Amino acid sequence: MNEPTRARILFQDAFDYCKANNPRGPDRETSGNAEFGLLQIIALADFHNNAGEYQTAVNVVRQGARWLDGRLPESSLWDGFADDREFDAEGSIRDGYMPSRIHPLDVNLRQRLAVSRLRLGELVEAEVRFHH
């Protein structure tokens, strides 16, 4: 309909609603039936990146990946880090921190996260995402 602002708002509202009403992630039994999922999170990140809302796109990818993995309650832990270390490759070490668990990031979400970081001028973080 050529209304990207409206689409961005509607998708964000839908995502916020789904997170609030099902913080453990989408129902695996019905995830293919018109429920908000990976493709919608990718689209929402694209809407925010296209609107120049790069930090919001970062937040959507990070929260979206956690929500899809059933890890949304971990947000209070991970949101304390300015970087995306929760998605680092196995064996990565940052500032003496080595993750005890690896949380793989879908390649499409990883690419959106890298682009957002690049647009924010966070070149080192963007490079980490492009290479992992």
The confidence score (pLDDT) of residue 55 equals 96
Whole domain around residue 18: which residue ranges? 4-131
Please report, in tens digits, the pLDDT of each residue of the chain (132 residues total). Answer: 678 899 999 999 999 999 999 888 887 665 455 578 999 999 999 999 999 999 999 999 999 999 999 988 888 888 888 888 888 776 666 766 666 667 888 989 999 999 999 999 987 777 777 766
In DSSP notation, 33-92 reads: SS---HHHHHHHHHHHHHTT-HHHHHHHHHHHHHHHTT-GGGHHHHTTSSS-GGGPPTT-
Domains held by the chain: number: 1
